Amino acid sequence: MSGTRLLQLPQRRAARAGVSTPWGLAILVGITVALVLVPAYVPHGVAQVIGQPLGGPGSGHIFGLDDQGRDVFSRVLWGMRSSWFAALALIASGIVIGAVVGVTAGMGPRWLDELLMRVTDVFFSLPGPLIALAIVAAIGVGLWHTVIALSVIWWPYYARIFRGISHSLMARPFIEAARLGGIGNLRLAFRHVLPGTRGPILVAASFDMGTVLLTLTGLSFLGLGSAPPSAELGAMTAQGLPYLFTQWWVPVWPGIAVFLLAFASNVSGDSIRDHLER
């Protein structure tokens, strides 16, 4: 670590002293648990009509009603649930594929490393949203079809992280000692290399949640999400746009929910990164 970097660390820690790793992880875990339990405490069903269309925020309906007379608060909770778990699934697929490609490249011979990294560069150069649009057009519209489409081009980010850490670890003395002890590559990867990637991958995934959420809701906004009456934050915002200047609560609350989820993910990643730098 350079001298400039060392001088900057105390300033950065002081600026973020109020957030520590347990709080950052608690935010992610708390959001996940709360959204898992949405069916137990959400006031109304996702498609339940309970009042006059476009009723304003008030007693019993704190977020108001949409153009179908459905409770916006309940639908926002359902939408947060579907968007959050779709983002988790996309990141999990990126980590799994990235781990296979990155660790293989970092531990393998030079020619294999070069080959896999050039393939990764090709996927990096692809226009992600356009590829997702093409794949969804081929397999059909739906939230999970969009997740599958994005998983095709989301893994290179993680593959580079896994490759860099694996390549660095392979030069460590304990790896040489393990190899001299007769440990095979598969066991070496699972017992010594992959555990060394947990911290950086956790930070990267925490920061990536915000990007994934914005990408998924953006594609849902364009009509690539689940069909109505399913609740998705991007689709809800798009459907409510005609009422932006008259019944503002219909499109605004789903947009605020997207912001809060993305902001919580970035705060969590920031706190975890600060802890690892200590």
Residue 275 identity (one-letter amino acid): H
pLDDT at 255: 93
DSSP string, 182-214: T--HHHHIIIIIGGGGHHHHHHHHHHHHHHHHH
pLDDT, tens digit (0-9, with 9 covering 90-100), for 8-60: 433 344 334 444 445 777 888 899 999 999 999 998 888 888 888 888 888 67
Which domains, and CATH codes, for the chain?
72-277 (1.10.3720.10)
pLDDT, tens digit (0-9, with 9 covering 90-100), for 147-162: 998 998 899 999 999 9
How far the first Cα of the chain sits from its last, in Å, is: 12
pLDDT, tens digit (0-9, with 9 covering 90-100), for 218-235: 888 888 887 778 888 999
The mean of the pLDDT values for the chain is 84
pLDDT at 194: 87
Compute the distance between CA of residue 89 and CA of residue 144 in angstroms, rounded to an integer: 9
Buried b / exposed e across 252-271, counting CB within 10 Å, b at 16+? bbbbebbeebbebbebbbbb
Residues 6 or more apart in contact with residue 101 via CB below 8 angstroms = 116, 119, 120, 155, 159, 162, 163
Placement of tokens 């000692």 in the chain: 177
Torsion from C-alpha of 86, 92, 93, 97, nearest 10 degrees: 170
pLDDT at 278: 67
